[in-house]
Amino acid sequence: MYRIVYNKLICNNTYELLVEAPLVVEKCMPGQFVIVMSKEDSERIPLTIYDYDKKKGLLYLIYQVIGASTEELSTMKDNIFGVVGPLGNANEICANVDMFKGKRICYVAGGVGIAPVYPQVKFLKEHGFDVDVIYGAREANLLLIRDKIEKVVHKISYATDDGSFGIKGFVTDVLKKNIDKYDIVVAIGPVIMMKNVVLVTKEYNVKTIVSMNPLMVDGSGMCGACRCEVAGKPKFACIHGPEFDGFEVDFDLALKRLNVYKDEEKEKWQQMKKILEGGK
């Protein structure tokens, strides 16, 4: 059991969960993720690490309620059954700051993708980098953790689909205009956004790192559910990723593979809603 400090709604269907998990945060690095389980019989949910306090052993996570298991997680109050991690590899830049000194870096985040972007930008600031961020969402009130991210960026630009904050348009519109300023782009968000970012960066041959979020079961390399096609070869996001060279990822395949369990998930969500209503 892992003690919940808080598990609160921060916007729309998005929650912030703070949980005690000292063994997870002791060694964690930006870019890594964890798997959480609400109860003993729950699904294993992979979530990217958003923030951590190594001294206090606290782990910060942000998640969106998008199905049965995240719905269940949002109802957890005192403890959750499981947190395992850190899983996957650290972000390439954060893990090799000396190699990347002097590089001009831009992060592109979409929606809750800002959560895994935040610890990377914060880490890089602490290591002397000035990092720009382009952050997009459908509308203004879906932009998350603005106060936190603004404290660690060099410059941040916003884009919303409806123009309710920042420019009206997509993150790629902002990126296109500024692409000559950067040596490296890191894109984290919906697969379609990462695909579109790579379409821009590839044209200008700017190295691009993306973070994949496929379906996953064990998270330790045992099952292969999370495989992505990278440079024509299957790679496991849990062990070989979650970050890959954006030029090499087959995004169309990744998009299709996200739908593997769509029907089953719909059904489970209905079941879960009934269970949760019954419990009230």
Partner 1 sequence: MNDSKVKGRVQSANERVHNFDEVEFGYNEEEALKEANRCLQCKNPRCVQGCPVHIAIPEFIKCIKEKNFKKAYEVISDSSSLPAICGRVCPQEKQCESMCIKGLKGEAISIGALERYVATYALENNLSSTISKEKNGKNIAIVGSGPAGLSCAGELARAGFDVTIYEVLHKPGGVLVYGIPEFRLPKSIVQKEIDSLKKIGVKILCDVFIGNSLTIDDLREKYDAIFLGTGAGLPRFMGIEGENANQVFSANEVLTRINLMGAYKNDAKTPVKKGKVAYIIGGGNVAIDAVRSLKRLGVDARIMYRRSIEELPARKMEVEHAMEEGIPFEFLVNPKKILVDEDNNVVGMEVVNMKLGEKGEDGRASVEEDLSSLHTVSCDMVVMALGTSPNHTALKNSDIKLTDRSLIEVDGGKTSIDSVYAGGDAVTGAATVILAMEAGKNAAKEIIEQFKN
Scanning residues 59 to 98, which ones bind partner 1 (CB under 8 A)?
A: 68-69, 72, 81-87
72 vs 75: CA distance, rounded Å: 5
Member of 10, 66, 199, 222 binding partner 1 (CB under 8 A): 222
Residue 98: burial class (beta carbons within 10 Å; 0-12, 13-18, 19+): exposed
Closer to partner 1 by Cβ: residue 122 or 257: 257
239, 245, 248, 276: residue in contact with partner 1 (rule CB under 8 A): 239
Q: Which of 236, 237, 244, 246 binds partner 1 (CB under 8 A)?
A: 236
Long-range contacts of 26-29 (CB under 8 A, 24+ apart): 26/54, 26/57, 27/86, 28/52, 28/59, 28/85, 28/86, 29/86, 29/90, 29/91, 29/94, 29/95, 29/123
Q: Does 270 bind partner 1 (CB under 8 A)?
A: no
Closest to partner 1 by CB, 60 vs 236, is 236
Distance CA 255, CA 260 (A): 10
Instruction: Tell me if 220 contacts partner 1 by CB under 8 A.
Output: yes
Is residue 268 a contact residue for partner 1 (CB under 8 A)? Answer: yes
Backbone angles phi, psi at 12, to 5 degrees: 45, -110
Q: How many residues bind partner 1 (CB under 8 A)?
A: 47
Tell me the window of 121-129, 134-142, 200-208, 267-275 that interacts with partner 1 (CB under 8 A).
267-275
Phi, psi at 84, each rounded to 5°: -125, 140
Site residues (CB under 8 A) for partner 1, limited to 26-45: 26-27, 32, 37, 40-44
Asked if 140 interacts with partner 1 (CB under 8 A), we say no
Q: Using alpha carbons, select from 70, 148, 53, 68 the residue that is nearest to residue 109.
A: 148
277 binds partner 1 per the rule CB under 8 A: no
- Phi/psi for 181 (5° steps) reads -85, -10
Q: How far apart are CA 117 and CA 197, in angstroms?
A: 15
Judged by beta carbon, residue 27 or residue 155, the one nearer partner 1 is: 27
Task: Tell me the CB-side half-sphere exposure of residue 97, using CA atoms within 13 A.
Answer: 15
- State yes or no: residue 132 binds partner 1 (CB under 8 A): no
Assigned token pair, 52: 């951590």
Distance between CA atoms of residues 247 and 89, nearest Å: 19
Q: Which is nearer to partner 1, 174 or 226 (CB)?
A: 226
Shortest Å distance, C-beta 105 to partner 1: 25
Q: Which of 194, 212, 249, 272 binds partner 1 (CB under 8 A)?
A: 272
Q: Are 50 and 62 in contact (CB under 8 A)?
A: yes
Q: Which pair of tokens denotes residue 111?
A: 């929606």
24 binds partner 1 per the rule CB under 8 A: yes
Q: Site residues (CB under 8 A) for partner 1?
A: 23-24, 26-27, 32, 37, 40-44, 68-69, 72, 81-87, 217-218, 220-225, 227, 229, 234, 236, 239, 250, 253, 256-257, 259-261, 264-265, 267-268, 271-272
